[in-house]
Structure 1
Amino acid sequence: MLSAKSLFQEILDHDESFRLFCSIAAGGEAQGGWENARIAALVPQSERALAPKIARHGADEDKHGRIFAALLKKRGLDPVPVPPETDYTMLLERGGIGLAHDRLEADRPLTVQDIVTYLAHSRVTEQRASEQMALLRRHFADHPDIGRAVRMISDDEDNHLAYCHEELLRFARAGHGRAIQRTLRESALAEIRVHRDVSLAVMARMGRILGWSRPRAALLAAGIHAVHAWERFAGWRRMVSLTMPERRDALGGPETTAPEFA
């Protein structure tokens, strides 16, 4: 039976597919850590109170990258280069979503609108991350090798999503509502396209590693296209709504560490 659990179990059980999965995940988390650290350093003076939360977000992403690297090390595996067609963060940037790296590498303060753009982009991508980790948590929370990592990262992603909701609502009350909704919609539509393309690329590589038959590979590709069609039609709306989260000030405390991994 083809299911999300059986599919990931197959990837987990094979060294080369697990190596690719962790390498892609670690690369994306490390990139997110760098981006958030730069944004925290460039926050405009009027929003300096937000800088520690952005820095905490970046520290969490760095921690996740170390966790995936440690999972590889535990299996005696080295990371592999991330194939460009599977690089989610790079493809989002190429699509004009979020803040360009050229802007983050410049030593001049960001604007309030830049911060709004960053938060709207994060609200969309953290929705995806939270959902994906919730899926892994549902099936692998008690797994002896990856369960602890899955639980820790899932908690962090939920915190990141809550923080984005709360801060965007604060900016909406300050008069940025229209800009927020426009940026959220643009980001959501671009993200679901990139997510489809990356999913197809990752599954194609996994299929070659694991020796999937053509019918099985075609079935998985059809499923990815079906999810994209639903998201393009209506599913994107879950990525643009804003509600006050139950977790208030989710990134206001100290960073949680992962000494057992890092």
Structure 2
Amino acid sequence: MLSARSVFREILDQDESFRLFCSIAASGEAQGGWENGRIAALVPEGERALAPKIARHGADEDKHGRIFHALLKKRGLRPVAVPHETDYTMLLEKHGIGLAHEQLKADKPLTVPDIVTYLAHSRVTEQRASEQMRLLLRHFADHPDIGRAVRMISADEDNHLAYCHEELLRFARAGHGRAIQRTLRECALAEIRVYRDVSLSVMDHMGRLLHWPHAKRQLLTGGIHAMYAAERAGGWRRMVSLRMPERRDALGGPATAAPELA
């Protein structure tokens, strides 16, 4: 029977597909770490209290990248070059979502609207990350190779999402509510398209590595398109709602150390 668990199991059990999976994940996390690090350095003077939380977010992303590299090393594998069409973070930037890398490479301080844009982008992408890790957690929390990593990363992603909710609500109370909702909607609608395209590309690469039959590829492709249709019809709204999280100040402390996985 074809299921998310069976598909992920195939990917995790074969060295080349596992290599691609971890390489894509590590690349995206490293990119997120760099982006958050630059944003923390460029936070406007009036919002400097936010800088340590943004830096903590970046440190977590860097840690996740190291974890995926450690998982590869544990299997005796080296990272592989990430195919352009599977690079989620790069494609989001190409679609104008979040802050442009050229802006982050400069030394000019960001503005409050820039920080609102960053937080709205993060709220959308962290929703996706949290959901993906909860899916892996449901099926592989006790997996001998990746279980420990999945548990740690899932907890971190939930913290990141909570932090985005809390900070966006703070900015909404300060008068940025309309800008926040507009930016969240734009980000969400762009993200679901990028996620669809990246998912199709990743499944295509995995299908070739795992020699999936045509019928299986078609079934998985159909599932991805069906998910996009559901998100386009209204599922995207889960990415734009804001509510005060149960855990307050989720990024208020230092980043937790990565477990020794290699």
Q: TM (normalized to structure 1)?
A: 0.99
Partners of 1:34 and 1:143 lie apart in 2 by 30
- 1:125 corresponds to: 125
Offset of residue 241 of structure 1: 0.1
1:210-221 matches, cutoff 5 A: 210-221=210-221
Alignment root-mean-square deviation, CA: 0.6
Secondary structure of 1:97's match? coil
Q: Is the 8 A contact 1:19 1:72 kept in 2?
A: yes
Partners of 1:202 and 1:257 lie apart in 2 by 30
- 1:99 corresponds to: 99
Secondary structure of 1:245's match? coil
Unaligned runs of 5+ in 2: none
- 1:226 corresponds to: 226
Secondary structure of 1:187's match? helix
2:207 is equivalent to residue 207 of structure 1: yes
1:161-172 matches, cutoff 5 A: 161-172=161-172
Q: Which amino acid aligns with 2:215?
A: P
Offset of residue 32 of structure 1: 0.1
- 1:258 corresponds to: 258
1:82-111 CA distance string (max 9 Å, x none): 000000000000000000000000101000
Q: Is the 8 A contact 1:60 1:156 kept in 2?
A: yes
Q: Is the 8 A contact 1:165 1:242 kept in 2?
A: yes
- 1:16 corresponds to: 16
Offset of residue 259 of structure 1: 4.2
Q: TM (normalized to structure 2)?
A: 0.99
1:130-151 CA distance string (max 9 Å, x none): 0000000001001111000000
Q: Which amino acid aligns with 2:208?
A: R
Partners of 1:34 and 1:86 lie apart in 2 by 19
Q: Is the 8 A contact 2:74 2:261 kept in 1?
A: no
Q: Which amino acid aligns with 2:211?
A: G
1:46-82 CA distance string (max 9 Å, x none): 0000000000000000000000000000000000000
- 1:237 corresponds to: 237
Q: What percentage of residue pairs aligned between the two structures are identical?
A: 82
Q: Which amino acid aligns with 1:230?
A: A
Q: Is the 8 A contact 1:137 1:147 kept in 2?
A: yes
Offset of residue 261 of structure 1: 3.4
Partners of 1:221 and 1:167 lie apart in 2 by 37
1:54-93 matches, cutoff 5 A: 54-93=54-93
- 1:159 corresponds to: 159
4+ residue segments displaced more than 4 Å: none
Q: Is the 8 A contact 2:188 2:236 kept in 1?
A: yes
Q: Which amino acid aligns with 2:196?
A: R
- 2:38 corresponds to: 38
Q: Is the 8 A contact 1:66 1:261 kept in 2?
A: no
Q: Is the 8 A contact 1:166 1:248 kept in 2?
A: yes
1:213-243 CA distance string (max 9 Å, x none): 1110000000000000000011000000000
